[in-house]
Amino acid sequence: MSSRLRPVPGWEVVPRPFDHPDSQRLVEEVQQEYVVRYGGPDLTPLDPSYFEAPLGAFFVGYLDGEPVATGAWRRRDDVAWAGTTATAEVKRMYVAPRARGRGLARALLAHLEATATQAGAEVMVLETGERQPEAIALYESIGYRRIAGFGFYRDAPLSRCYARALGERRSWDDAAATFDDEPDHGLADPTTREAWRVLLAEALPPAPARVLDVGCGTGTLSGLLAEAGHDVTGVDFAPAMVDLARERHPGVEFLLGDAADPPVGPRAGGGAAYDVVLGRHVLWALPDPAAALRRWVSLLAPGGRLVLVEGRWHTGSGLLAAETSRLLGQAGREVSLRVLDDPVLWGGPTGDERYLVVSRR
Ligand SMILES: C[S@@+](CC[C@H](N)C(=O)[O-])C[C@H]1O[C@@H](n2cnc3c(N)ncnc32)[C@H](O)[C@@H]1O
């Protein structure tokens, strides 16, 4: 774990126990600031053990050897967001007034995010308050999103809770804005779009079918299928992807959650029932594809089908058709495979392996 970060000369971040004298001095200062802003200190019970590895960490920031900032995180597996409970919570983010205006809060927060990610956290959450507008502005400018209240002050009217994706979710989040620039993602070219429309029409039952689009990204295929008259729900764990999907396809339901364990259950009126679970370029990205396939099968109505578009790309990532077929066989499914080598689908010729699998029972 990197313990040093130097955004300005003389600045360093050092891991310290919560009860270290430098930590305590700064915690006392931040509590005084809460007294001024809110009329009392933060009463959230905190135990020094919350910040011990591997479930937490506490850092003191030094400027020219003087302790001027603190920041900490602790695992908070009771707070779920974006389909995970591998959650870390920021605590005691504070930069003393004498050291403000140098970007230290931003640097410290980046350090907290990096160390929490290294320790296995998948999202970061935090709680701040309406009377800390500078903190709110900082978090929002970095990309934190408002979430439902949690923790000790969950029902307090001034409390504001935020979350941001870490790790793999963050990478997909960062990819969202330009994701649709690829011809097969955005389907901006009418010929490419039409080729996908026809391909999916051939692979799916007639509309209206109930379709779950797992790892839906910006929702391009969900939108295409909704246009064709299907009843579509899309699921993705990258908040920026889901935002774009909702913006571009307002008539379609998009959920923030894990594709491997979608936040859907039996529909009202009974039945666990999707006619189709569709995934394009998603199975390869899941840590346990066999478990995901079992879960997807469990969501199918009798006679339902899995429709998967996968590939093994020139980059070396992806799944060979043989591997996907083997996984489906393990899940007790028959496989019908179609090679997708028509350049129209991809906006140009490809030299790698791309395919569609339709799997009925
Ligand atoms: C290559 S993109 C494909 C997007 C979309 N299916 C398409 O074909 O345009 C992979 C998508 O899967 C999502 N993803 C990856 N792992 C996921 C997981 N465990 N749960 C939910 N979404 C996931 C990513 O956020 C990303 O949007």
The 8-class DSSP code of residue 135 comes to H
pLDDT at 257 over 80: yes
Query: Under the phi-then-psi rule, with left for phi > 0, alpha for psi from -120 to 50, and beta for the rest, what region is 28?
Result: alpha
pLDDT at 38 over 70: yes
Residue 63 binned pLDDT confidence (cut-offs 50, 70, 90): very high
Domain ranges of the chain: 11-165, 172-360
CA of 311 relative to ligand 1 center, distance in Å: 14
Structurally, at CATH architecture level, domain 172-360 sits in: 3-Layer(aba) Sandwich (3.40)
CATH number of 11-165: 3.40.630.30
Query: Would you tell me how many other CB atoms lie within 10 Å of the CB of residue 201?
Result: 14
Pocket perturbation via mutation, ligand 1, pick of 193, 224, 255, 282 by most ligand atoms within 8 A of CB: 282
CA of 42 relative to ligand 1 center, distance in Å: 39
pTM of the full predicted structure?
0.91
- pLDDT value for 270: 52
pLDDT at 266 over 90: no
SS3 124: strand
pLDDT tens, 322-353? 999 999 999 888 899 999 999 999 999 998 99
Pocket perturbation via mutation, ligand 1, pick of 85, 172, 248 by most ligand atoms within 8 A of CB: 172
Q: What is the mean pLDDT of residues 140-164?
A: 93
CA of 217 relative to ligand 1 center, distance in Å: 5
Torsion angle, alpha carbons of 13, 97, 151, 157, to 10: -160
Atom nearest to 172 CA in ligand 1: 25
Q: What is the CA radius of gyration of the chain?
A: 24
SS3 199: helix
CA of 20 relative to ligand 1 center, distance in Å: 43
